[in-house]
Chain A
């Protein structure tokens, strides 16, 4: 009977993971995945990280993927195990993060009987994955896993789920290795490898003609790899065109470079948003015209010719109609643009866009990120600025939760390299940052990994501190503690007559004691005189640290383009008042 060329489904899974060079998996056991856990027990190539809730596993896999450029992998049981990862899968889908989720399912013959811990996993996760599978036949398992990895990481990356019934984990079949699988092209959708020469030529011609060009760069540039970022830097240096990035584009271009206008959008820089509004040529590199970026659509950059490079065809002409587009990989396209410029000896030297830069420098004089730090209460902006100054010489990765602290982090922390900034943009998932830091630290054991957190968000996945302690991951949780769901409070102040309904975070734990109870370390800064020392202490401790930074409770995040307003209608401080008509319209938006 025993055929030595045959393996159980569980063993096939492990062989496939090895073949895919997976060395880390985040997971949580349960009845429907016990055969897989049994296989994990007897091997040593794969490090299993036991999270404390499945949501932690999926965000950790996202953090791992974002910080390493590899596919993140997680393993969860059927029923509640898998429903707990729905938020994270949606998050990864929105933010184009390659992850593969393996879930256990009740045995095939029980599917459809409302068995214990049965749920319609493929049904529930269909709209929140790039693709998903229910594997009913063990002989299909190898190729399914290899296809899943290929799909997760090709074209516009995203989450893929493989649901494996328990009997299939026990059943035996041959293993087919990755190199023996021929992928069907229509299923992989990797995008064209041929750069559109016309697009390139057209773009260069428009750059030559334009007076007020701008690069608008998004997360697609990140996903295209470090080469994309290198080519982008070359192109910007050559042309002297200003560049602004989305929340996810931060780091694709060095934030301290003189051509960088910083982030654009709802809490973006004044100069970045006005430049978008007034430009005559917009070069969109892997951004998706998200509503957080465009503001009111009918007033979005009315006078510009728009070029769009995006691997995802459905992002083109979805929200904003563009004049020229190409559906090709960004690194390849930018490389072609650079070599076209070089080989035709096109010189932008005399162009320099002096008037345009003059105008931009006028806008910069507004100093939209200016704040007044007094000598007692810590301003949250200042806390981030100091964190940046005291960590910028180190090899640092920053994750965040969601809220004001996230926007302040985006505004005041500067990134010089891609993949260093890991945040939940599209879905805005509170509770993302801490498990994402666990993942980032697993992928980068020697780096400094900091989760810039709000106290409310941190409470959403606080259990993962135990994971960090167990695996000796010295992540730092830097809490801007304002005792409020600050971003909610800000909207209530601006749009709902300062009626702070349910946005005060009462009954907060003592974060220092909490850290200690987990066998982590707690530090605290109550006022400005303690800030630098606290940050330095936090960095110096080679263990997980929770830093409780008490900040001004009433501070709001500016600049702000209120929902429904246009780029040129941004508020710079609480003294700026919104046009009441916009306000009524904006209220119904999110």
Chain B
């Protein structure tokens, strides 16, 4: 079924929107996360996922990884705006590096009802090499890591098993240029 919006959709605005992962090194100081999040909301940019942790205790640096959507022009503008923030050392679009790696971690709790489901779950868990964190009678908790895409696939596969209950948490992607 198709529905018509009362508002005309500017098709071009979305056409070249693509996913980018930005890696930002910042001084770990009060308010830095608020500055970054505020910059995104204030200027109408998207945050699809966000991850922040101290990575250098001595120098007091944090690395922030942001997954965002936007056409190239918007992404360059985001980078330029990020680099204007006083505590920001650098902001990099990982896609612009010749080599970079991404990973995400997901904890997933699955409740099942019967052996058949258990078998299928086990099978997928095995294929995706997920680690068992905890297993009880009808509950299993896995930890799976890899690219976000891989985790999505795993979740899609689990979806094909009917009648199970899934609860999960994802870190969002983190990335590093080599």
Contact = CB atoms under 8 A, between A and B. Distances in A.
Interface of A: 122-123, 126-127, 130-132, 134, 151, 186-187, 189, 312-314, 316-318, 321
A399 to B, nearest CB: 28
Contacts of A316: 80
Interface SS of B by simple majority: helix
A187 B80 CA distance: 14
Contacts of A312: 84
Interface in B54-105: 73, 76-77, 80-81, 83-90
17 contacts: A123-B34, A126-B31, A127-B38, A127-B42, A132-B31, A134-B30, A189-B86, A312-B84, A313-B83, A313-B84, A314-B77, A314-B81, A314-B83, A316-B80, A317-B73, A317-B77, A318-B77
Contact of B89 (A186, A314, A317, A318): A186
B18 interface: no
A314 B84 contact: yes
B120 interface: no
B35 interface: yes
Nearest to A318: B77
Nearest to B78: A314
Interface string B147-166: 00000000000000000000
Query: Which size class do B's interface residues fall under?
Result: 20 to 34
A313 B88 contact: no
B86 A131 contact: yes
Contacts of B38: 126-127
Given A126-B31, A187-B86, A316-B80, 7 more contacts: A127-B42, A134-B30, A186-B89, A189-B84, A314-B80, A318-B80, A321-B73
Contacts, number: 40
A328 to B, nearest CB: 15
A126 B84 contact: no
Contact of A122 (B31, B88, B90): B31
A120 B76 CA distance: 31
A396 B95 CA distance: 54
Contacts of B35: 126
B6 to A, nearest CB: 15
Nearest to A130: B86
B89 to A, nearest CB: 5
Interface in B125-163: none
B87 A187 contact: yes
Contacts of A123: 34
A313 B84 CA distance: 8
Contacts of A313: 80, 83-84
Contacts of B34: 123, 126
The 7 closest A-B pairs by CB, nearest first: A314-B80, A131-B86, A313-B80, A186-B89, A187-B86, A314-B81, A127-B42
Nearest to A189: B84
Interface string B28-44: 00110011001000100
Given A122-B31, A126-B31, A151 B86 contact: yes
A505 to B, nearest CB: 33
Nearest to A187: B86
Contacts of A189: 83-84, 86
Contact of A186 (B76, B81, B88): B88
Contacts of B80: 313-314, 316, 318
Nearest to B34: A126
A122 B83 CA distance: 20
Contacts of A186: 88-90
A316 B87 CA distance: 21
Nearest to B77: A318
A124 to B, nearest CB: 11
B82 to A, nearest CB: 9
Contacts of B42: 127
Contacts of A132: 31
Contacts of B84: 189, 312-314
A123 B33 CA distance: 12
